[in-house]
Amino acid sequence: MGQTIGIDFGTTNTVVSFKNKKGKIICLRGENNSKSIPTALYFRSKNDYVIGEKALKLADATNIEPIVSFKSHLNENHFRYNVVCEDGSSFKLSAKKATTYFLSKIINSVQDRVIKVFGAADGYIEKAIITVPAKFSPASKEEIQDAAIAAGLSDVELKFEPTAAAAAAYQALEEIKPVTTMLVYDFGGGTFDISVMQATKKENHIKYDQIYTAGDRELGGNDVTYLIACDILEKVNEAYDLDMEFDEDASGLYRFIRQDCYDGDFPYNFYLENVKKIIDAAEHVKIDYETGSEIINIQTESGLESFDYQYTTKQIERIIFPKIARTIQITQESLNHIREVGIEPDNVVLAGGSSNIPMIRTELERIIPIEIEAFDEITELISKGAVVLNENSLNEVTNITSNAYGIIVSEGNIYDKFETLVPINTPLPVKAERTFYLNENNQQKLEIKLYEHDIQNYPNAKRAIHKGISVEQVYEINLPNGLKRTETEIKLTFVFERDGSVNIKVRVFSKGVLVNDEEVTIHRDSNME
């Protein structure tokens, strides 16, 4: 009998879990016995690469930029990365392909570990459950699934990160109520999600209902690190009369480093070393800032110089407050919403590595008058929860839509307006129907675009070209010959499934008679920035 693994595929770090022979859920260890593996790639050549901590160490040693944050760029139909290899060669790489490369190494590593635990007969990976953010789009989820299959997995199931966190937390609670409502605060490296989950236990059956979700797909722990790094950078520049800069539009920590920002007299590799040291120091301070002190050896024209700085806790909290405040604002809005319908959380569950920031607990306690659950291994919670969800075949999960979905309709001669088919926070599965008409006689094709609207972060977005509204699915329908505009109706049924996938059924009527009935092939596109 094969084994099931849980993969918390994160923007910054990835955690993999599985059950040992004693039934205890354990994590795959990375370098230095770490339970999280940096989500990073480093290419020695096009066909020779490493991942994780080793990738970052080699990048530091060679000053070759690693490939990071590719999870944030799934569903982008272009080659996101210009990869420079250690042997001097180069090639272009999409985020989906980067995900395949990374997961392939992860699978090989966990496969070796599972075989050591169970032996060759039972130590094969039968199934993988991969977690994704609550506000991840259907197309991005599909790309992860495709990448995982291409990496060697045959049975892949996706679960939302907050659902997995709630499952692990519910299992760990000392006192399990028949019905427990949990507010999951999930702050990862690249995304932030709030979900209200309700766990209902009946004998050996547990039902997990997602009641409400909110978040910001463009806010993560990396943004907090960036604020601290900018403050350190300013102090270093002032102390040594340097002119170093970061890329403000960085999509990952190593994307902060830009060659075209360098404008100094000393070699660029010195500049590169300095900003990497500053980023590393900022990451350390972010997690544990009780002392707030670091010593960085800065390279100047005259050689290495020791830069010793010290922050008070209040100074650090003042620097990072804008990003933390945004997460608290979203949390408060979520609380207000569920309280309007008579729901109050029994527990608050912290998930995601960035939830370890001390200030977060303080701010949450200010707005939620209940004790926050103190699970020792926050970074492992989601990965272990994925395994928990698979433990009992009777477990049931009900998800909701994380964004609004709809189509674009013409509004006069001004612009194309977003029309909602399914509102945000609608329980899945759900069905929506619309009727369309031909533009001309004997029309051969009809193109229908299904859009996703991130209405919580971009409430005023109404147009297809506006940031916050993306083309999620494109349906091209082949029509029978000889149809007349005034006699034809096209009835579309959109079905949003429990797992977040979207299917469409097309029925074409001519003079009230059904002349075409088919499922439509899906083509993906996106204009989400």
**CATH code of the domain covering residue 429:** 2.60.34.10
Question: Quick one: 29 and 138 in the same domain?
Answer: yes
The pLDDT-based confidence of 414 (bands split at 50, 70, 90) is low
Range of the domain at 337: 3-219+322-398
The pLDDT-based confidence of 77 (bands split at 50, 70, 90) is low
Would residue 295 count as lying in a domain?
A: no
The pLDDT-based confidence of 480 (bands split at 50, 70, 90) is confident
Question: Quick one: 367 and 416 in the same domain?
Answer: no
Question: Quick one: 421 and 370 in the same domain?
Answer: no
pLDDT tens-digit map of 183-207:
999 998 888 999 999 988 877 778 8
* CA dist., res. 90 & res. 239, Å (int): 38
Question: Quick one: 106 and 169 in the same domain?
Answer: yes
Average pLDDT over residues 9-22: 91
Number of domain units in the chain: 2
Lowest mean pLDDT among 12-26, 145-159, 306-320, 380-394: 380-394
Crossing angle for the helix pair 313-340 and 358-367, to the nearest 10 degrees: 40
Lowest mean pLDDT among 114-128, 140-154, 169-183, 358-372: 169-183
Q: In terms of pLDDT, which residue wins out, 255 or 429?
A: 429
Question: Quick one: 13 and 142 in the same domain?
Answer: yes
* DSSP structure string for 333-382: HHHHHHHHTT---SEEEEESGGGG-HHHHHHHHHH--SPEE--S-GGGHH
Q: Check residue 529 and give its pLDDT.
A: 30
Are the beta carbons of 206 and 385 closer than 8 angstroms?
Answer: no
Average pLDDT over residues 100-116: 92
Question: Quick one: 32 and 171 in the same domain?
Answer: yes
Count CB neighbours of 60 within 10 A.
17
Q: Check residue 2 and give its pLDDT.
A: 83
Half-sphere exposure of 484 (CA within 13 A, CB side): 5
* CA dist., res. 105 & res. 528, Å (int): 29
Would residue 246 count as lying in a domain?
A: no
* CA dist., res. 39 & res. 53, Å (int): 9
Q: In terms of pLDDT, which residue wins out, 104 or 170?
A: 104
Q: Check residue 65 and give its pLDDT.
A: 82
Are the beta carbons of 59 and 65 closer than 8 angstroms?
Answer: yes
Question: Quick one: 12 and 125 in the same domain?
Answer: yes
Question: Quick one: 488 and 363 in the same domain?
Answer: no
Question: Quick one: 47 and 182 in the same domain?
Answer: yes
Task: Choose one of 398, 424, 442: the last residue of a domain.
Answer: 398
Would residue 499 count as lying in a domain?
A: yes
Average pLDDT over residues 483-495: 89
Q: Check residue 101 and give its pLDDT.
A: 96
**Whole-number percent of the chain with pLDDT over 90:** 28
Would residue 408 count as lying in a domain?
A: yes
Q: In terms of pLDDT, which residue wins out, 129 or 456?
A: 129
Would residue 262 count as lying in a domain?
A: no
Q: Which of 47-56, 260-269, 285-294, 492-501 has the highest mean pLDDT?
A: 47-56
Lowest mean pLDDT among 52-56, 171-175, 177-181, 354-358: 171-175
pLDDT at residue 476 greater than cutoff 90 = no
Q: In terms of pLDDT, which residue wins out, 472 or 145?
A: 145
Count CB neighbours of 501 within 10 A.
16
Pair of tokens at residue 62? 């060679």
Q: In terms of pLDDT, which residue wins out, 527 or 263?
A: 263
Question: Quick one: 496 and 374 in the same domain?
Answer: no
Q: Check residue 456 and give its pLDDT.
A: 82
CATH code of residue 151? 3.30.420.40
Average pLDDT over residues 342-368: 90
Average pLDDT over residues 321-338: 94
Would residue 266 count as lying in a domain?
A: no
pLDDT at residue 14 greater than cutoff 90 = yes
Q: What is the pTM of this model?
A: 0.82
The pLDDT-based confidence of 265 (bands split at 50, 70, 90) is low
Question: Quick one: 180 and 36 in the same domain?
Answer: yes
Task: Choose one of 378, 398, 418: the last residue of a domain.
Answer: 398
Q: Check residue 240 and give its pLDDT.
A: 82
Question: Quick one: 386 and 430 in the same domain?
Answer: no
Task: Choose one of 350, 370, 398: the last residue of a domain.
Answer: 398
| β-pairing verdict for 396-398 and 179-187 | unpaired
The pLDDT-based confidence of 272 (bands split at 50, 70, 90) is confident
Would residue 307 count as lying in a domain?
A: no
Would residue 470 count as lying in a domain?
A: yes
Q: Write the CB contacts of 234 (distance below 8 Å, at least 6 apart in sequence).
A: none
Q: How far is CA 226 from the centre of its chain?
A: 18
Average pLDDT over residues 52-77: 86
